[in-house]
Chain A
């Protein structure tokens, strides 16, 4: 055993010895340190009593503490409410105006439409993007387009600001009868070829399909010119935008099984956000303006029907 070069200088040790000659001195901590520790311990008790720290929650109530001298009882919820009030005060200037305005009037006001786009973005992300995709780019599932793209100028139910507002508030439910019983497979094949050609501006090249289209029940909803009717949400078949799937197979499937008409059919349902009660009237107006501004909004004075395809 080596000599101990670091003698403890007479200070008593704890008695444990490690590695031959290491021991702990039993020095007292400094007085200032002990005082600090004691003061901290006392402060813990004071703090515990002043703030809502005791986790007893009976019937939704909890121990709220005895409060702070001068400022009363503090809770995180109260502080949150105060912070929110600051925000609300800033917004109320705009929000109060929005209450009495129509969506069209909001759209016409540059400052207000800038304002609603900010909150519209958040509302859209929370409520709409699940189906329509972030920024309204649509979502695609294995059957094709699940929910319509909102940035384009093709609108099943109309693209004016009031149309869009009505759609969000009331919801929409598409419908198309299945034709697997009324049309033979080769007729379905022909009519699918016809509408495909129609969208590319070459409708007359498919006379067989055109005959089927004109003579069966297609024209009842889509019209003899195949441009659809926005009042009932029937699609315009002459433009380049397809609600579900624009491939020949996809078109055939839509014609065969229809929309919202049985287990195999395509699904096209948009809930009513008014009856759902999740959004306030103002929020629906904000969303209408936001969606309009994606780039496809149709001005009121422009005829709703799109011009014929090239």
Chain B
């Protein structure tokens, strides 16, 4: 018998208690509340750090910038303020690119390291973690909680449950408030809230988010990930045999078996897994990772911490459960990251979306111009024989004050005249102002039915502030 095994067996006295915590495992179908054990470890710490990013949701909206809320998604007035930037509905195409960017980031990360978002960043994961943390502080460790759930109702149980749900509700309300204040002035909202002066919509949003948080994080918990969340399903198919994910090393661990106090075999026939169920104990979604990769696994790495802890304890090397790809676990040659073409496709699309957004942000402009040529009639013959076209101008002024523009044109027909070109047009701030412009050109200079013409509007006080639009001048057939 090797020295190592002897040593391990000698230590089973302290590991035996592990078995008392969990005797069996069934597929989680929701009829039983999962009370996961909290164990310290690398991934546990990492998870606390990543989850704390959500503090931004709670406190970011109070940040002020030039006397205004720094980030204000003002849907009522149809404009987004992000520090110095104001984004109007006309720039909303960038939001589409932003969504594409986020989706592709999710895909790329998932194809490399599986459901990183689910395990470390998702609000459902974070809020459930917070809620169960509160639960543990009040009701005790998982075993105590199971007992409490099964116990008859008495004063102590009522008191504990009451406190727990009160704290849960308080967190939920604060979540609802913190969500809403990104869409209107945070301080004004608090003022309105405390004086019970919210609008019907504001009350509805607050109640919906409070109840949503309370129910999803307090009661549905991992069930949300199992059957409610579409991303769980989408991300499941993003992983392939090259993707690294928390996996159980079957070849090393099997056959699993309990460490017995009295080992009578001369040679250890068992694998490294001592079947202590610690990996199941700590799993927030009630998964047994040793059954293989599965839908319920949010790849949070908590079972890695648990298993490493046990391996340390029984004196076997760490990493029986570790981040590894299917290729590695099955002994196939492991490819490098750059040999994963699918990831590069995601990264490519991601970069395209990103450059689109950067382009958009750099070309927001303060004036935009749209010109619609009249469709009926396309052109009019005037009494002197010249041809007149009518255009509807829409000028969007993104500055914060009204201004006047003058109109000029490039291209078009020789000798064309913009009627009343010297007239300054008022353009209101923050919205599109429309006016009509007529252009007249001598018939003999019109060479084709459709001639390109580029209009320009220019702020009368700031010649650098211009906008252009390319459209056409229509004429008769010659």
Chain A interface (Cβ < 8 Å from any Cβ of B): 110, 134-135, 137, 149, 151-154, 236, 239-241, 293, 295-296, 306-307, 309-310
Contacts and interface: CB of A to CB of B under 8 A. Distances in A.
Interface in B377-430: 377, 380-385, 388, 390, 426
Contacts, number: 48
Contacts of A306: 383-384
A152 B376 CA distance: 13
A241 B383 contact: yes
B355 interface: no
B385 A152 contact: no
A240 B426 contact: no
A154 B383 contact: yes
Interface of B: 374, 376-377, 380-385, 388, 390, 426, 436, 438
A234 B383 CA distance: 15
A152 B384 CA distance: 10
Given A110-B426, A295-B438, A153 B382 contact: yes
A298 B382 CA distance: 12
Given A240-B383, A309-B383, 11 more contacts: A137-B376, A149-B380, A151-B380, A152-B380, A152-B383, A154-B382, A241-B381, A293-B436, A295-B380, A295-B388, A296-B380
Contacts of A293: 436
A152 B382 CA distance: 5
B381 A152 contact: yes
Contact of A137 (B377, B388, B426): B377
Contact of B383 (A110, A134, A137, A239): A239
Given A110-B426, A134-B376, A149-B380, A310 B438 contact: no
B391 to A, nearest CB: 11
Contact of B385 (A110, A137, A149, A309): A309
Nearest to B390: A295
B383 A153 contact: yes
Contact of B384 (A134, A151, A296, A309): A309
Nearest to A201: B385
B383 A135 contact: no
Nearest to A136: B377
Nearest to B389: A295
Contacts of B376: 134-135, 137
Nearest to A151: B380
Given A110-B426, A137-B377, A295-B438, A239 B390 contact: no
A234 to B, nearest CB: 15
B357 to A, nearest CB: 36
In the complex, the 8 A-B pairs of residues with the closest C-beta atoms, listed nearest first: A239-B383, A154-B383, A240-B385, A151-B380, A137-B377, A306-B383, A135-B376, A152-B380
Contacts of B374: 135
B384 A310 contact: yes
Contacts of A240: 381-385
Contacts of B384: 239-240, 306-307, 309-310
A242 to B, nearest CB: 10
Contacts of B377: 135, 137, 151
Contacts of B381: 152, 240-241
